[in-house]
Structure 1
Amino acid sequence: MKRIGIIVNKSKPKAWIIARQIIRSLEHRNVKIVIDEFVAEQLGRSELGIPLFQIPKEADIIFALGGDGTLLGIARDFAPHNIPILGINVGNMGFLSESEPENLELAIDKVLSGQYYIEQRMMLEAQVVRNDAVIKQFIALNDVGIAKGAFSRMIEVIMFLEDKFLRSFKGDGLIIASPTGSTAYSLSAGGPIVTPDIDLILLTPICPHSLNVRPMVISGHSTIRTKLDATHDDLGLTIDGQLGFKLEIEDVITVKKSEYKTNLIRWHEHNFFEVVRRKLHN
């Protein structure tokens, strides 16, 4: 019997309601449940609670109750554990989620009976090198953003593919995206949509001040190295639009495919382009 870990976006009232429903449904089926200890206490089920970092060690599958942001955070935090994640959308877009609250019982039945497959999503690894030393390292599912501050002047982005000069441009910054991230920030900046099974990295300029600077696609086995030049120090790195880190002019940002993958639970009838039409044609 599968052991289910439940992670709740605490800021979404609907997620608490759905969590209670899932607990009742799983207990009716005699399924072992583990929950973040804070959430368990708030639900009056402290006996189910364990520290958040222990959940992937005690569960076979994660039920993520929230939106895309919730799933992105779980994917990063639990990346080393290689655990399947079922996104249950109680957010807005829910592009990465596979189930909706109105189909909750059907989703539980499919998971417990094994009527699903695992879709592996490529992740990115980013390093910030300062004075020839790695000072910060991140994992991203969607993208790594390098950008100026909101009120600063343009910056110059200088890119190298492996150790070979690729190009430079002036603008607001650069998005380095995975195939999963092709439908996120990169899309808003004019990048292409690519199917999530392709092994590649997207380079999408942010507001380039040039008519001949366009998004690029490089091999997923490549390493992209980026330097910045600017007349100010208002520079930053973002990870999946959720984590931030202040950059300095001499920093080198290196991005490549991570050794980790995100394992998303998908129904057999899942169709990527149907999701694109349903979620993005609004």
Structure 2
Amino acid sequence: MTSNFRHVALIGKYQASSAGSTGDSSRQALEDIAHFLERQGCEVALEAETASNAGLTHDYPSLNVDEIGARCDLGLVVGGDGTMLGIGRRLARFGTPLIGINQGRLGFITDIPFDTYQATLSPMLKGAYEEDLRPLMHATVVRDERIVFEALAMNDVVVNRGATSGMVELRVEVGGRLVANQRADGLIIASPTGSTAYSLSAGGPMLHPSIPGWVLVPIAPHTLSNRPIVLSDATEVAVEVVSGRDVSANFDMQSLASLLHGDRILVKRSEHCVRFLHPQGWNYFATLRKKLRWNEGGS
């Protein structure tokens, strides 16, 4: 049996431990998937941290992320959306396609249930899949005209106050034009991918992944007329910290920068996209129905 993907990398939860039931189940899952891939004619490697955490360093070749990007035709991510966010940002510049297998609750971007992965992956490995490109956000923190922090985000860039401090005041510009000075607990700049994450819980709309836009969502604004707004992702968004204590910027909630008054967070569309592969017939709305427990009302 021949696969369209000759060299496949397995990437698992970084936080999984090789000791205890969580580690044992993760190791077993990775071993099962690796054996399945080998039967499909694939050469299998493990991401180095995954191999170490699962205790599989002697069973398969271990590759770091750059080596995966240079050598592998496909990344198979076993875990949840957080795992996919982390590896997706790092592999985007290589154009490596990614498939997500979810071991727990169905994810928005790790959308293949573990108990059906063999039946789902078999046709995908032969080329029967749908490709889904998700542009990344490129964010910089500028202080005294110098870049002091830089990060990519797939979901969102969030500027917010400290846990015990009051509101922050943020000057928001889009395309060099002033939008407003906003007093709030913070501000979310979310991509369509991130519109179903923190942005959604803060009252923002869901954006279909095909929309080339972002949503700007204030967190608990002082003025209730400050509402979410959808923007084109072709324009740069600038957020300046005017006042507030313990202000920080989060990027996908996985990296953090502490901010000072006068700091500017500049967000623009990255030149890189994450390449997701879904089963043929994949339906974004079906994912929403299952994940958000909507009344399906049909197939």
**TM-score if structure 2 supplies the norm length?**
0.90
Instruction: State the match for 1:15 in structure 2.
Output: 26
TM-aligned CA distance change 1:4 to 1:231, over 3 Å:
closer
User: Which deviations, in whole Å up to 9, do the C-alpha atoms of 1:48-98 show, x marking residues without a partner?
Assistant: 222343112111010001100000001111121111100101244512113
Amino acid at match of 1:9: K
Corresponding residue of 1:65:
78
Letter in 1 for 2:39: H
The aligned counterpart of 1:28 is: 39
Once the two structures are superposed, residues 262-282 of structure 1 have per-residue CA deviations (whole angstroms, 9 ceiling, x without a partner) of 111112211111111110127
Which residue in the other structure is 1:240 paired with? 252
**2:278 equivalent in structure 1:** 266
After TM superposition, give the deviation of residue 134 of structure 1 in Å.
1.3
Distance 1:47 1:21 in 2: 13
Please give the alpha-carbon distance, in whole angstroms, between the structure 1 residues aligned to 2:219 and 2:100: 30
- The equivalent position to 1:182 in structure 2, one of 173, 189, 195, is 195
Q: CA deviation at 1:8?
A: 1.0
Query: Are the aligned partners of 1:176 and 1:201 in contact in 2 as well (CA < 8 Å)?
Result: yes
AA aligned opposite 1:16: R
> What do you get for the CA RMSD once the two structures are aligned?
1.6
Alignment of 1:73-84 (within 5 A): 73-84=86-97
**Pair 1:44–1:162, CA change in 2 (3 A):** closer
Which stretch shifts more, 56-65 or 102-111? 102-111
Q: What secondary structure sits across from 1:269 in the alignment?
A: coil
Aligned residue among 259, 263, 267 for 1:251: 263
2:164 equivalent to 1:148: no
* CA-to-aligned-CA distance 1:29-51 (integer Å, 9 cap, x gap): 33111112354351264442223
CA distance in 1, matches of 2:233, 2:63: 37
Task: Quote the residue 2:213 is aligned against.
Answer: 200
Given that 1:161 and 1:223 are in contact with CA atoms closer than 8 Å, whether structure 2 keeps it comes out as yes
Taking the aligned partners of 2:65 and 2:182, their CA distance within structure 1 comes to 43
Which residue is 1:211 aligned to?
A: 224
Q: Deviations over 1:206-240 (max 9, x none)?
A: 010112100001111111111112243x0101011
Which residue does the alignment assign to 2:122? 109
Residues 1:68 and 1:38: Cα distance change in structure 2 (over 3 Å): closer
**Offset of residue 5 of structure 1:** 0.7
- Label 1:38 to 1:158 Cα distance change in 2 as closer, same or farther (>3 A): closer
Stretches of structure 2 that go unaligned for 5 or more consecutive residues are 17-21, 295-299
1:125 correspondence with 2:138: yes
% same residue: 32
| Cα 1:123–1:112 shift into 2, 3 Å | same
SS of the aligned residue for 1:149 comes to coil
Match of 1:277 in 2: 289
Contact 1:123–1:257 (8 Å) recurs in 2? yes
For the residue of structure 1 that corresponds to 2:112, the secondary structure is coil
Cα distance 1:47–1:269, how it changes in 2: closer, same or farther (>3 A)? Answer: closer
Give the secondary-structure state (helix, strand or coil) at the position aligned to 1:213. coil
Are the aligned partners of 2:170 and 2:243 in contact in 1 as well (CA < 8 Å)?
Answer: no
One-letter code aligned to 1:6: L
Deviates more, 1:234-243 or 1:105-114: 105-114
Matched, 1:40 2:44: no
3-state secondary structure, aligned to 2:109? coil
**Equivalent pairs, count:** 281
Structure 1 distance, partners of 2:57, 2:88, is 27
- Runs of 4+ more than 4 Å apart: none
